[in-house]
Structure 1
């Protein structure tokens, strides 16, 4: 293998490589033999036809294409090492010469990690948020639990107010024509949630049971229902029934109802501990974010587009995973928010750029500080991943490609770099 040309254009490394015809021919023989094993040719047992007949039944362009892929895949990691190239993503491949009895020549365009000029990254001043949980915060969680387990009861005397559950008759017209999108009879309407319009909820608040009211609302141009968007709608409503949550008492029985607690005080203590843990996680995440942002401001670097594209794709995959936990698909989610996948990617591009920048900075810090990933750290990470996949460590390890192992190693190295920045930060 011979590197004919090596040049760098910005964050793109270009390699032009030559392999001998003997190398190409040898690999092509292997490809043909692999195809022959599965070929069924009339007059011969499967995989037993003579080579000459097999070759006549094969598309030579397909064979050459497979041969090229195999040779380039094998050559790629060697070329990266020989030419000291640190790739961001898979390369763009162009076949320059593929001709019988001639050297096989191909070109690789590889987006590489950019040059990073770090500014100050030690002694960064950051403010750590408090992890203290107040009585008011605990009381708010308990109040939400109380509301959740309490049931609606009919209100005999009294007028409508926020959080009530209403049953009502509704008539809506635009220029005298009835709006078909809403039913005449509405049940379990949650007052204060602005399901129809904020002004609608305000207009029916304070009404008594069996009371009627007429009013007009001008809907915005971007309202979700096209038939009334930008138009005046005349409403006539009649309250048929008012329901309101009858809050259960906050006692030991309440604690047993919402969880496996022996007393109300146990419930309060458990809520406080969970909130403290959540605050600690949020505080740690905020601290890391502050440090990365501070170092980013002092760093000079030009991110390749492919790096931002890759991070955007990762964030889309994370969104899909998050949605799947709620039994939702990305397609259904996009329909509900009236956006396309391209629009979501556009929305994610700015945070993806920040994340990509953070990763590049941490990679550089690890390089400058000569941080390394010991084999036992990698083994620990593999064991954790194996546990989550219900596989043995050895089974999981065998399933990992070299690329997956490299990705895991890079992740651990970035984590070490971030720990280094935190340990050398000026935290108040």
Structure 2
């Protein structure tokens, strides 16, 4: 039997009892757990009867473990009895303990907070529109032009900004050549700022086969302790000078890079594609605007434990991004940990919003009784299976394995998708107020 003693915000204090019979069972479990670690003269280790151990060490030798067993048995029953949605481990306290009587135990536990939803149906949201301009089209064509550029060798002029060089170099601090400062046939794009500050600029005006001495000073934040802030000289030889040759943006260009015969056709198609992307981006922005406004206007005390978990989750994702970029060795562990720790320090507001959004959407799903059908689940499973390109003879078995391992996640994802679609469909989109404000300023 259990009861709720008090409830403050999302913290509930439960009280439940353990009968003498239930505690006796728990004591016996404790005996079986620890008997192998107790030495009693005259008995092989682990073979001493319970009453002999109790006589030698006292009955209380089993009580701590027995109370743990009793709580593990009775606490979940109390939670289920009061239909509590628990989000953290309980703080347990023994309130009354007398042999032969009911043991009284209290448990303080955090539960999911109540959500006070705003009036989300018909909520007004400023509409996001992304317009594609002629400048956008020109920018896209220039990007395509860059991708189709040829790198050609130059022999009749000196190095210019933007050129691609092949060089040998050797670095010296004083008269001593330093480790890691030497390379042969190294590629370098002038203006890329990939070398030490000042290095690339000093190669401008030099010629092919010319040798030059480049004077630089290593930054104070340089990764090598031996070189931080040190003046150095690099002896450089230029083997090749190459430049980027861009094709003219004309009808021939259109024919070379597309199925179109004229530049005008290519421009029209480019604009159409940009408008489709803009429409997709605007939809995502408008969906986010609706959800953000509903979340911000709803009220909920976000539990600290959920914020902490979300910060840890965001940190793990951030670390994974580094690992996927190739920073996988042990030599990167300390560097990545430092970046992740810094990221987590600034991630609190995002984590708090993420948790609040989750709680608000779950509350709306519950209120609107949004369900997912078997057909919808099966359709989503089919899409997931298709993305893996599984052989036809293994497809059904693969779908079944997805259902068995990920049904809850898939259904939850579909529920959220449906609730977001419902909220966006019910929103009223209005023109941004910026234009009105600007008009007032003109007056």
Give the 3 Å change call, closer, same or farther, for CA 337–399 of structure 1 in structure 2: closer
Structure 2 unaligned segments of length 5 or more: list them. 34-45, 51-60, 389-394, 432-443
1:86 aligned to 2:85? yes
Structure 1 residue 4: Cα displacement = 4.7
Mapped partners of 1:109, 1:408: distance in 2: 33
Alpha-carbon offset, residue 143 of structure 1:
2.8
Aligned-pair CA distance for 1:183: 0.9
- How far the C-alpha of 1:411 sits from its partner, in A, is 4.4
Contact 1:146 1:250 in 2 (8 A): no
* Equivalent residue number for residue 434 of structure 2: none
Find the counterpart in structure 2 of residue 194 from structure 1: 193
Q: What corresponds to 1:287 in structure 2? A: 286
Question: Does structure 2 retain, via aligned residues, the 8 Å contact 1:119–1:298?
Answer: yes
Say if 1:114 and 1:4 are closer, same or farther in 2 by CA, change over 3 A.
closer
**What corresponds to 1:363 in structure 2?**
362
- Contact 2:219/2:229, CA 8 A, preserved across alignment: yes
Quick one: structure 1 residues 16 and 285, their matched pair in 2 at CA, closer, same or farther if it must change by over 3 Å?
Answer: farther
In the TM superposition, 1:33-44 aligns within 5 A as none
Q: Deviation per CA, 1:41-63, whole angstroms, max 9, x where unpaired?
A: xxxxxxxxxxx97998xx98998
State the 1:351 CA deviation. Answer: 2.4
- The structure-2 alpha-carbon separation of the partners of 1:413 and 1:228, relative to structure 1 and needing over 3 Å to count, comes to same
- Where in structure 2 are the equivalents of 1:268-283 lying within 5 Å? 278-283=277-282
Is the CA contact 1:31–1:63 (under 8 Å) kept in the aligned structure 2? yes
Deviation at 1:246, TM superposition (A): 5.3
After TM superposition, give the deviation of residue 110 of structure 1 in Å: 3.1
Q: Does the CA contact (< 8 Å) of 1:16 and 1:105 recur in 2?
A: yes
Task: Tell me how far 1:196 sits from its aligned partner.
Answer: 1.9
Structure 2 Cα separation of the partners of residues 334 and 166 of structure 1:
34
Give the match for residue 237 of structure 1. 236
**1:17 lines up with 2:19 in the alignment:** no
Partners of 2:375 and 2:101 lie apart in 1 by: 48
1:373 is matched with which residue?
A: 371
Output one character per residue of 1:264-309: Cα deviation in whole Å (capped at 9) or x when no partner: 9999999777755554443333223323333444344432211112
2:180 aligned counterpart, secondary structure = coil
1:209 equivalent to 2:208? Answer: yes
Residue 125 of structure 2 corresponds to which residue in structure 1? 125
Deviations 1:190-211 (A, max 9, x none): 3322112343223323432233
5 Å matches for 1:133-212?
134-147=136-149, 150=150, 152-174=151-173, 177-185=176-184, 187-212=186-211
C-alpha distance after superposition, 1:210-235 (max 9, x if no partner):
33444544444323333333344444
DSSP 3-state at the match of 1:17: strand
Deviation at residue 32 of structure 1 after TM alignment: 10
What residue is the counterpart of 1:419 in the other structure? 421
Inter-partner Cα distance in structure 2 for 1:196 and 1:123: 53
Kept after mapping to 2: 8 A contact 1:17/1:107: yes
The answer to whether the Cα contact below 8 Å between 1:159 and 1:208 also exists between their aligned partners in 2 is: yes
Please list the CA deviations of residues 20-69 of structure 1 after superposition, one character each: whole Å capped at 9, or x if unmatched: 454566689899999xxxxxxxxxxxxxxxxx97998xx98998599558
- SS in structure 1 opposite 2:349? helix
For residue 186 of structure 2, give the secondary structure of its aligned residue in structure 1.
strand
Name the CA distance, whole Å, in 1 between partners of 2:374 and 2:305: 32
CA distance in 1, matches of 2:164, 2:63: 70
| Larger of the two Rg values belongs to structure | 2
**CA distances 1:297-331 after superposition (whole Å, capped 9, x unpaired):** 43444322111122223324444665676676596
Q: Distance in 1 between matches of 2:323 and 2:13?
A: 40
Give the Cα separation in 2 of the matches to 1:290 and 1:250. Answer: 41
Preserved CA contact (<8 Å) 2:166 2:240 = yes
Contact 1:21–1:102 (CA<8 Å) still a contact in 2? Answer: yes
Q: Distance in 2 between matches of 1:264 and 1:318?
A: 46
Determine if contact 1:165/1:191 at 8 Å carries over to the other structure.
yes
List runs of 5+ in structure 1 lacking aligned partners: 35-51, 256-260
CA distance in 2, matches of 1:141, 1:21: 79
Q: Report the TM-score, using the length of structure 1 for normalisation.
A: 0.69
CA contact (8 A) 1:93 1:106 kept: no
Partner SS for 1:183 = strand
Aligned pairs, number = 394
Assess if the C-alpha contact under 8 Å between 1:254 and 1:264 holds in 2.
no
User: Conserved in 2, the CA contact under 8 Å of 1:386 and 1:392?
Assistant: no
2:130 & 2:320 partners in 1: Cα distance?
A: 31
- What CA deviation, in whole Å up to 9, does each residue of 1:368-412 have, x standing for no partner? x53422444773577358736875555444446xxx73x655544
Structure 1 residue 303 corresponds to structure 2 residue 302 = yes
CA distance in structure 2 between the aligned counterparts of 1:115 and 1:190, rounded to whole angstroms: 59
Contact 2:318 2:340 in 1 (8 A): no
Change (3 A) 1:93 1:321: same
* TM score, norm. by length of structure 2: 0.67
Q: Secondary structure at the match of 1:339?
A: helix
CA shift at 1:413, angstroms?
4.1
Q: Is the 8 A contact 1:11 1:112 kept in 2?
A: yes
- Deviation, 1:359, is 1.9
